[in-house]
Amino acid sequence: MTAEDYKRVWAECLDVIKDTLGPENRRAFDTWFLPIVPLQLDGSTLIVQVPSQFFYEYLEEHYIDLLRRVIRMQLGPAGMLRYNVVMDQSIRTSPIVTTLPSQSRQSTRNPLMDMPLSSGGDNQREIPNPFVIPGLNKQRVVSQLSPNFTLENFVEGDCNRLARSAGYAVAEKPGITSFNPLLLHSNVGLGKTHLANAIGVKTKELHPDKTVLYVSSEQFMQQYAEAGRSGNTNDFIHFYELIDVLIIDDIQFWSGKGPKTQEAFFHIFNYLHQHNCQIIITSDKAPGELQGLEPRLLSRLKWGLSADLQAPDVETRKAILRQKLQNDGIEMSDDVIEYIAYNINTNVRELEGALISLIAQSSLNRKQITLELTKQMIDKYVQSSVREVTIDYIQKVVCDYLDLPVEAIQNTSRKREIVQARQLSMYFAKKITKSSLAVIGMQCGNKDHATVLHACKTIENLRQTDRYMRNMVEELEKKLSE
């Protein structure tokens, strides 16, 4: 390799990074990796330029494992990455930071922790196949858990309370509770992987002698196929039978494929279950909707507890944002947090994506994170996915307009202004959202559908007869469509 190869090396790194992050993290890729400029190759050290100190710190904090992996893949075990940080147009010539030497600050960790969490793509050949390591014993099994996803930083809300506490119970007494298997299911981006991983981390914390293993269903399937090709199927099965707490992520991936893989898992499942070992499974479908899975495997999944994760309500969304900010040591004003929480309601991954883009924007352009900047950014961000006005958001706009706390909608007060705020919220919810009258009633102070209907009629009548009300409805309409 010559010094001229730095561009090609970085381009290849980018390919792997993009592949590893996957399409669902495309925004993170665009935000954090595309702006990196390769500068030079110095032996096995690649020197790159990053736009700011914050940028560098963010990479180090969130992507160090990934970067280390790709750099070593490209440049061998001595591969290093060095950052140059742009300082107000001029570049700091002496690199201020070096990282990723082969004995870096993480060297005290189990070296096998460097195994990629995700599988697939080229990096597959880098994964030391744990079940063919000679002299394997339980302590050597690499858990593949990410230390970043813990129960402590999994924010609790109505949306996830059952699943979270079941997870805690399982971590305290793995294999012994009736939650075996524990099946976590939800739509994408609502925390299945985080929670499953967190249960593993907590189990390790409480029971260091237990062997915990996290694998994606895809990785499991690939390992099985690989074992078959090299005549190691028995080793494969025995390896999995050593595990005390087995976490299989995204089992819906097996739907309609790999009957042999499913059969192998079926045997492993039975063995572990009989030996009071814990099985944790995630799926983006409820067990009843998991088509294309072997029926006998499906019936096993129903033995334990199936807990779902719902989309978080606005308060939980705010709490999640605060938590992420605190984690990154970044301050943001409440109105900025509220704006994001009210406007991004699809899933937690999108919520995080929006936050990260905002932080990156402000850092790249050296702008303060103001409400104005947030509005610009978030509006652009949600443009692509049709922006949906939620009942929460309507309540907020109405209450802000009437200068009432938004909680007032939920209390039982019959004070005129509060009743009016409730009725206006119902009226707009009926008009703008696709929610049923029953859902609108439930969210606006736990009323029934008849109350909602009555509210809509009342507001409509007043709008036609009362100038003050007409004015108010028009202004609110304008605010809601902004």
The residue ranges that bind ligand ADP (CB under 6 A) are 149, 153-155, 160, 186, 188-194, 320, 348-349, 352
Shortest gap between Cβ of 147 and Mg ion (angstroms)?
Answer: 17
- Spatial distance between the Cα atoms of 223 and 120, rounded to a whole number of angstroms: 11
Q: Is 377 exposed, middle or buried (0-12, 13-18, 19+ CB in 10 A)?
A: buried
Q: How far is the CB of 249 from Mg ion (least distance, A)?
A: 6
Q: Which residues of 181-193 are buried (b: 16+ CB within 10 A; e: fewer)?
A: bbbbbbeebbbbb
What stretches of 41-132 show up as alpha helix (H) in DSSP?
53-75
Q: How far is the CB of 348 from ligand ADP (least distance, A)?
A: 3
Q: Which is nearer to Mg ion, 191 or 445 (CB)?
A: 191
Given Mg ion, ligand ADP, none, residue 240, with its beta carbon under 5 to 8 Å by kind, binds: none
Query: What's the full length of the chain, in residues?
Result: 482
Nearer of residues 348 and 424 to Mg ion, judged by Cβ: 348
As given in the structure block, the two tokens for residue 10 are 């970085």
Binding-residue pattern over the window 45 to 64 for Mg ion, x denoting contact by CB under 5 A: --------------------
- Segment contacting Mg ion by CB under 5 A, of 124-132, 184-192, 214-222, 384-392: 184-192
Cβ distance to ligand ADP smaller for residue 37 or 330: 330
What residues form DSSP beta bridges with 83?
48, 97
Q: How far is the CB of 364 from ligand ADP (least distance, A)?
A: 22
Judged by CB under 5 A, the stretch of 80-88, 189-197, 232-240, 354-362 that binds Mg ion is 189-197
Nearer to ligand ADP, 154 or 253 (CB): 154
- Supply the minimum distance, in Å, between the C-beta of residue 186 and ligand ADP: 5
Task: Examine residue 217 and tell whether it contacts Mg ion (CB under 5 A).
Answer: no
64 binds, among ligand ADP, Mg ion, none (CB under 5 to 8 A by kind): none
Q: What is the DSSP string of 224-283?
A: HHHHHHTT-HHHHHHHHHT-SEEEEE-GGGGTTS-HHHHHHHHHHHHHHHHTT-EEEEEE
Contacts 24+ apart (CB under 8 A), 348-353: 348/189, 348/190, 348/191, 348/312, 348/317, 348/320, 349/24, 349/188, 349/189, 350/189, 350/385, 351/317, 351/320, 351/321, 352/320, 352/324, 353/27, 353/28, 353/381
Contact between residue 9 and residue 43 where contact means Cβ atoms under 8 Å apart: no
CA-based radius of gyration for the chain:
26
Nearest CA-CA partner of 265 in 282, 275, 251: 251
**CB count in 10 Å sphere of residue 205:** 11
Closest residue to ligand ADP using C-beta atoms: 191
Does the CA dihedral 301-302-305-309 come out positive or negative? positive
Q: At what angle do helices 467-481 and 391-402 cross, to 10 degrees?
A: 130
Kindly state the smallest distance separating residue 161's Cβ from ligand ADP, in Å.
10
Q: Measured from the CB of residue 185, what is the shortest distance to ligand ADP in angstroms?
A: 9
- Report the nearest approach of Mg ion to the CB of residue 133 (Å): 27
Nearest to 119 by CA among 266, 24, 27, 217: 217
Selection from Mg ion, ligand ADP, none that 278 binds (CB < 5 to 8 A by kind) is none
Given the structure tokens 């030996």, which residue do they identify? Answer: 275
SS3 210: coil
Give min distance, CB of 319 to ligand ADP, in A.
8
Q: Which does 194 bind (CB under 5 to 8 A by kind): Mg ion, ligand ADP, none?
A: ligand ADP
5 vs 156 by CB, closer to ligand ADP: 156
Residue closer to ligand ADP by CB (options 31, 193) is: 193
Residue with smaller CB distance to ligand ADP, 281 or 462: 281
Name which of 193 and 357 has its Cβ closer to Mg ion.
Answer: 193
Segment lying near Mg ion (by CB under 5 A), choices 53-61, 188-196, 208-216, 218-226: 188-196
Q: Measured from the CB atom, is 71 or 117 closer to ligand ADP?
A: 117
Nearer to ligand ADP, 97 or 162 (CB): 162
189 interface partner picked from Mg ion, ligand ADP, none, CB below 5 to 8 A per type: ligand ADP
Q: Which helix (H) or strand (E) holds 454?
A: helix 449-465
Nearest CA to 393 among 318, 325, 307, 302? 318
Backbone angles phi, psi at 184, to 5 degrees: -105, 125
CB of 282 to Mg ion, least distance (A): 6
In the bound state with ligand ADP, the residue whose beta carbon lies nearer, of 188 and 297, is 188
Contact status, residue 39 vs residue 47, Cβ threshold 8 Å: yes
C-alpha 117/C-alpha 481 separation (Å) is 43
CA distances in angstroms from 100 to 74, 367, 374, listed in the order given: 13, 30, 34
In the complex, the smallest distance separating the C-beta of residue 353 from ligand ADP, rounded to whole angstroms, is 9
CB of 273 to ligand ADP, least distance (A): 24
Residue 348 interaction partner, one of ligand ADP, Mg ion, none, beta carbon < 5-8 Å per kind? ligand ADP
Total residues contacting Mg ion (rule CB under 5 A)?
2
Q: Which of 74, 99, 180, 193 binds Mg ion (CB under 5 A)?
A: 193
Task: Give 272 or 351: the residue with its C-beta nearer to ligand ADP.
Answer: 351
Q: Which parts of this chain interact with Mg ion (CB under 5 A)?
A: 192-193
